Structures are given as structure tokens and as C-alpha cells.
Structure 1
């Protein structure tokens, strides 16, 4: 007869369940590039109902809480206006904008090209980037792609960068943040470092004065003596093994010392005079690596830019879980200061997956909020054209069958309406993927072009989508 306690098997079982449940929370599909499927322990235990549920629930995608708060604020504002006496009531700015006749929606497809749908008043919504690329032999044309986890790890943007730099010149990965929890997921730069605390536009305790277009900044953690960040070039993609100029952008309210290092030449010390404005340390010269080190926790480190002097630069600025509405918090004054060092000719907005729900069919409120975002970005970066990308195709599950989420078309239409209202360019990502049912085909392809969450793209899928985007972009710029 065993001397083991009778409750021990139950304890072992309980621990096993906890371990499996914890693993079910990991985004296995994204980490493995689609080779492993995500799973939901609770979803596997409970019976499947007849109602439609989003497959994306399995990787813990939720509606952006900042979006929910913004919509509630929008509703409260509308109630306040309605409650005013009729003779003094003032229509919300959104209502005034909606009363303007919108330009007709453009058919997104022209043969094998997905059009850059230009809704600008003069039909010349890419004029600035076109002029910049025409001068790319003498200056740097800058493009920023701002989005959510769809482009996390430089997926899609790394291939857009490679293709545009091959065509127009340039090199370097562009913007990189100070610290990444999963540095190995990004293939376009080798990033390492320690001693940082990261604040983003949705963080509590953040300093709004330091929220830039990157939507994050970093400071030295209290328990670290120094905070360091190192970036090394890679050979996996063209033009990324080295670059010609390294920039570190920061705000230091007090006098401090910052050290930088290129290659193995040793550390260079920079005596910084305190200022409430953004400053930049610029180190010129071909470099396969760049490092930053500081010991002052009052310094707000905005990021590093690794570029050439000429050609084109493509920056990837991704914020997991964001819907885009927090871009209205980008500090206009800080943006003006940063433009002295880093200005943009084109800003591409990629959002939408964190604003979608299988039960929500009306996205007009989100559309109105994104109009505000576009207009605010224009104030922050008046020299930039703006392209809004529509959301990609997304899967949902009915029983055991996966289909395109029924409301995806409604989200695309809402995003197109935002572009029409704001007068910018729109690109239909979903149509470029193949339209209805595309995400299922992409996830089933060999190698997989999309992960088994039926939302995110694999690196191969990002490359495929980049082909379509660059084809559309070049067609609009050069024809």
C-alpha cells in the first residue's frame, strides 16, 4: 500500500492544469511564425455554441480600452451639446465635417494593382513623398509606418523598406525603440540592452510631454545603475548591415552625460545642457553597430534612428493592442522640436484589428475618431502626406469552421470613410490579400502567410503583402 498522501494526485493534476492554462495564454502562433497553433484551454473544455466567435479571442485580442474611453467621451460630448438651449447649441466639429459632401469612393482594384485611393482635395495626396523621392539622390525621403501588432517585429515594413531602398537608394533600419521584450522576433536589427522602463501612450504615470509619434519613450529604471541599448546590423535583408548616420533623440530637463559608441572604437562622452526641448546626438560615419548608455533617470529617451544621408528611410512604429486613437495624444510641441532632426514626407497609418468585434457592425464612431487622428498628425507633421491602410482580412469561427469575420468589410468601409472625410490616401489591405476568405488561404499556405490566429501575418505573409503595397505605391508615384 502506497505511503503517498491521497491528495497528491489531485495536487499534481491541479499544477498540470495551471501550467497548460498558462501556456494557452502565450501567442504561440506568432512566436513560431505559424508553425504552432494557438489554443484556448477554456475554449477547448467548454462546448461550442451556435453563436459566432472570433478566432482572435484565442490570442487575447481585445478592443482597445483607450478606444472605448474615447467613444464614451464622444457620446458624453454629444449629450452635452444636445442639452444646450437651441439658440446657443453648437454642432460638434465632427458633425460639421460630416455635412461636407464626401468624394466618391474609388474602386480599389485596377487589373492586378490595388489603387492608392486618393481622396485629397486636389487629387495629389502623395505630392510630398513624390517630390522627396525625386530628390532622393541628394536627401533622405522619410516614411513612418505607425500601427499595431499587425506590423510588430517589423513584419511587412521590413520588406517595404528593402524594396524601396533597392529602388530609390538608402540604407539602415530607421527608427528602433530603446528596449524590446522580444528582441529576437525582429529580424531587421539585432537589438539588446537593459535598465529601461518603457512608457507608452496608454501607460499610467506617463509624461504626455514626451509622447511623440513613436507613442513611447523610455527612462532608466530606479534599480539600474545605467541603462544601455545596442543595435547591430544584419545581413538577412538588403542595406541593413551598416548605415551612415546614427541619431539618438531624447529630452533631458537637466545637465547630464550620455555616452555613445559606434563599432568597437570605444565610448564617446557627450556633455548635455539641460533643456525642456528635444535634443539629438548625431554620429556620422559608416557603422555596423551603435550603442547608447546613460545613468540619469530624468532623461526621456525617445528612440534611435539608423539611416543613410540620402535615399529612403522606412520607420516601423508598432504598439501592441492600440487602435490608433491614442495618436491624438502625440505632443505637437515635441513633434515640432523633433522635426528639426527627424521629419517625415509620408506617414502610413495601419490600425483596426483592436477596434473590431464580431458583434459590432457599426464603426462610424471609430471612423470619426480616426479623422481626428489624421488631422492631429497633420498638425504635428505638416510636411507629410498620409496614407491610411485598411484592416487586413480576419478570421472568425462558427463551430469548427473558420470564415472571414463578417464585420471586416464594415471596418474597411469605416476606414475608407475616414480617409474620404479627412482627404487623405487609402489603401485596401484586405483587397490586396484577396478579399473574402483570404486569411484562411494565407494561413493554410505553405509556408504559412498568416498565423493560425487568423489575424496576424507571418514574416512570409508580410513579404507578400509588401509586394502588393510597393507595386501600388510605385504605380501611384511614377505613373
Structure 2
């Protein structure tokens, strides 16, 4: 025995182990013990190119459960965006980790009105030349103020589908100097009624949550910026409320405003030789003003309706008549609701029933007032707070995400989880402290670079759905 060659023993052990694994893998039975389950192993599964989980990029819609799914169940459970894979249309997906857009329908709505379906159809018609414009109303809090997120989403959509112009801009703004997509200045004598200063009962708030009344010398000035698709003005619209013989001077040219509807519109084209538009109150009864819109005659437009410090519940103060009239004057194909930062004011709170109840009324009323419009609820971003000597994700984040997801399933809207797209638990810390800084030191708000990344991620999710639709027969 002393002369036996022991150097071959490791080889024998490895070969024997492999043989055991191959034999076990072919046993056709299942056995489970507590949390362990033994199943037949397919050792060549990763090499297969056929079958429902390794197919092309075609994505399909689930029927019966009212849920459109855009990932295969394996990828969804792992929290991965399953690009390049098909889906099982009857699978259930983990909304907390899935990075794509989930679309829902309800028992009382048709599949053609599920989630983003109508919006996707509008994009197809625009691309085919069957319609001129597609508009998105993007509502949010300080996370999007200064045109953050929306500017990058707008630019990407306009690059692919056409269009130029920043869309809606309010009369005045607390972040006008921060915004880089238009140069915006104004006089200080405008009276701004809004969600937080208890406007009189006869004041109808505009879609932005603001209504502005001019003083004796009120003026506003807008100048294009030196960026693609933002470097000149073409089609310009002034939005205002009920007016009778109110006059304004636009680049020294007088106009008389009239109309008794909650929202009225004055359209004019900008002389391409004049870069700046100056609008001055000229006299007469002081009518309510909402804002000015900048577009061309075709393409996609994303209107930024940011309002600092709100939770989204405040949208319930908007008049149904105003919303419906706005839809007549300036129809929207998609409404995005992006809130959460101000709901998470107590990081360890996990019961958000107090928020869910009024938000259900908000979403329900908006769906009623905008019956032909798609809706997308954006799940909150990660938010971290200091506990002990380090920052961690607030326990309330995932609790709030569940509430937001429940709203989407209840009212048949689309849902996109920003938290998952940031990287899930602990991601805000990485965005603040990483080599590339993407968020501010408050561990709540994104900086410009982070907002640009989110805009790009949302655009990618939208285009994944759009291209899926192109592949449908």
C-alpha cells in the first residue's frame, strides 16, 4: 500500500461526485423537507434557446387577472429587468422588485383601456403620421421641480417621435432661476393663489395648482435656451380663466382676452426673428392667468406640473370643470402621478391608510374627468434616514410602495417602481455617497445627474412597452 499512487485520488473523487450529480439530476421525482425542495435538475437549461423563458423580446398581456406583465417570473422574482425575454402571460410578478412598467385593468374597464394601452396607441398613431401631437401631464413634488426628470424624458421622446418645445410653463415659479430648459423672469406684483394659501372660493386653481392675478404693472418674459429642440419658440399659447375685455401686450402687440370658460386659450405664432416673448398686462378687469405653452405643430410634449411640499392628495382640490375644459383645450394622452417624498415625513411610519383613502378619491376623480387618458403611478424613490451611525432605507418606503401599487391595481392604471430602478433597499445611500453622486445630502432628492438617469430609465421602460406593441400582430 505504501507504493500506491495517491496523486490520482482527487481525480477519482471529482469524477465520482460528478457521476452522482448526473444520476441525481435524472431522478424524476420531487421531495421536500421544511424549506428545502429537491427537484429534477435540467443541467442544459441555460444553453437552450427555445421555450417560453428564452425567446425573443415579445412581451404579452395577461388576461383574466387584469394584469399586464412585462417580465418572466424568474427575472421578476430576482428583481431584474428581463430584457430580451418573453413572458408567461399568466404569471404573477413581484411589483416590489420589477423594473419595468406593470399595466392593470379592472373588472369594469376594457383591455383597450388598461394601464398605458391608449397612450401607446397614441404614440403609434403619431409615428405613423395619423395624428399631430401626444401630450403627457407629469404631476409631482419637489422631486421634479425645475423640470428635473421631465426634461430628460421630454428630450428623449422628442428625439424619437418628433416635436420641439418645453410645453407648459407657469406665470411665475419659485424655481425659475433653477430651470435650465427655458429662461423665465417676471415682475413681483403677480398674486399667486395656490394649494397652500387658502384661495378665495371664487378662485379656480389651474392644473398646476396655481392661479395668477396681475397687478398694475405685471409682466412675464420667456427666452429660449441654446439646447436642441429648445432654442426657439414656434407655437405659443397663453392659458387663462374667465375674462372680459382684459388686454395684454405680447411683444408690444395688443390682444384682448375674452371667454367665460374655466380655461381659455390664446394661440399665436412666434416670429422666428424674435427670441424673447414678453407679455404685459395691459388693463381691464384682472383675469386669472395659468401659464404659457411652447410647442411646434407636431410631436410629443411633456408638461411639468411640480409643486413643492405636496403629497398628491392636493390634486383633489382641482375643479372637475377646469380639468375637463383643460382636456378640451389641451388634451393629455398620459397623466403621470409621481409623489412620495413628502408622505415619508416620518421614516419609521409604516401605516399609510391615512394617505391611501384620500388618494383613492383623487385617482378615482381624475379617471372620471379624463376618461380617454392613460395613467401611470410612479412608485416612490428610496429615502434614507440616519439611524445610529449610518443611513438606512426608511421602513416606510416599501409600505408606501404597496399603497401606490394598490392604487394602480384598484383603478386600472400603470405602475412603475422608481425604488426598484434605483437599486432597492440602501440605493439612496449609494446614490449620495457613490463615486458618481446622483442625489443630495438630504438622502431624499436627486441632483441633476440623478434626475437625468431616472428620466432615461423611465424613457427606456416606456419604449420597451412601445416596441412590444410594434411586435404584436
Alignment TM-score, normalising by the size of structure 2? 0.74
**Structure 2 residue 178 is matched with structure 1 residue 191:** no
Kindly indicate whether the alpha-carbon contact (under 8 Å) linking 1:347 and 1:387 is maintained by their aligned counterparts in 2.
Answer: yes
The worse-fitting range, judged by mean Cα deviation, of 315-324 and 329-338 is 329-338
**Whole-Å separation in 1 of the counterparts to 2:460 and 2:207:** 27
Find the aligned partners of 2:436 and 2:226 in 1 and give their Cα distance.
22
Please tell me whether residue 233 in structure 1 is matched to residue 218 in structure 2.
no
User: What number of residue pairs does the alignment pair up?
Assistant: 370
Whether the aligned pair in 1 keeps the contact of 2:170 and 2:290 (CA below 8 Å) is yes
Change in 2 beyond 3 A, CA 1:207/1:447? farther
Residues 118-157 of structure 1 aligned to structure 2 (within 5 Å): 118-121=103-106, 122-123=110-111, 124-136=114-126, 137=129, 138-157=131-150
- The residue number in structure 2 matching 1:86 is none
2:428 is the alignment partner of 1:457: no
- Do 1:156 and 1:462's aligned partners in 2 also have CA atoms closer than 8 Å? yes
For residues 336 and 438 of structure 1, the distance between their equivalents in structure 2, rounded to whole angstroms, comes to 40
Contact 1:256–1:274 (Cα < 8 Å) also in 2:
no
In the alignment, does 2:282 pair up with 1:292?
A: no
Distance apart, 1:435 and its partner CA: 0.6
CA deviations over 1:413-455 (Å, ceiling 9, x no partner):
1110111111110100000111111111111234421000000
* Structure 1 CA distance for aligned equivalents of residues 221 and 284 of structure 2: 18
Q: Alignment partner for residue 382 of structure 1, among 371, 374, 395?
A: 371
Q: For the Cα contact (< 8 Å) 2:165–2:295, is it kept in 1?
A: yes
- Given that 2:246 and 2:285 are in contact with CA atoms closer than 8 Å, whether structure 1 keeps it comes out as no
Listed one character per residue, the Cα deviations across residues 201-240 of structure 1 (whole Å, up to 9, x for unaligned) are 232134465223211111124xxx221111111124x311
* 2:414 counterpart (425, 430, 438): 425
Aligned to 1:255: 245
Q: Equivalent residue of 1:183, what SS?
A: coil
C-alpha separation in 2, matches of 1:146 and 1:269? 33
SS in 1 for 2:239: strand
Residue segments in structure 2 that go unaligned for 5+ positions in a row: 1-63, 70-75, 84-97, 469-473
2:315 maps to 1:321: no
Distance in 1 (CA, whole Å) between partners of 2:330 and 2:202 is 20
Q: Which has the larger radius of gyration?
A: 2
Q: Given the two structures, how large is their TM-score scaled by the length of structure 1? A: 0.73
Per the alignment, do residues 135 and 250 of structure 1 end up closer, same or farther by CA in structure 2, a change over 3 Å counting?
same
* Larger helix fraction of residues: 1
Query: What SS does structure 1 have at the residue aligned with 2:460?
Result: helix
Structure 1 ranges of 4+ moved more than 6 A = none
Structure with higher RCO (Cα < 8 A, 6+ apart)? 1
Any residues of structure 2 matched to 1:171-210 within 5 Å, and which? 171-194=164-187, 195-207=189-201, 209-210=203-204
The gaps in structure 1 that reach 5 residues or longer are 1-100, 262-266
- The C-alpha deviation readout for 1:99-123, integer Å capped at 9, x for no partner, is xx98679657532682211112345
SS of the equivalent of 1:388 reads strand
Contact map agreement 1:228 1:291 (CA 8 A) in 2: yes
State the partner residue of 2:256.
Answer: 271
1:162 pairs with 2:155: yes
1:119-145 CA distance string (max 9 Å, x none): 123453222222222232441100010
* Distance change >3 Å, CA 129–CA 452, structure 1 → 2: same
Pair 1:283–1:205, CA change in 2 (3 A): same
Cα distance, 1:197 vs structure 2:
1.8
Shift of 1:314: 0.5
Looking at structure 2, the residues matched to 206 and 244 of structure 1 have their Cα atoms a distance apart, in angstroms, of 36
Give the Cα separation in 2 of the matches to 1:190 and 1:293.
17
Contact kept, 8 Å, 1:173 with 1:240, in 2: the verdict is: yes
Q: 1:275-298 deviations in whole A, cap 9, x for unaligned?
A: 254221101246443232214563
Aligned to 2:82: 111
Aligned counterpart, 1:85? none
Q: Distance in 2 between matches of 1:313 and 1:362?
A: 37
* Structure 2 residue 380 is the aligned partner of structure 1 residue 391: yes
Distance 2:220 2:201 in 1: 22
What's the secondary structure of 2:221's corresponding residue? strand
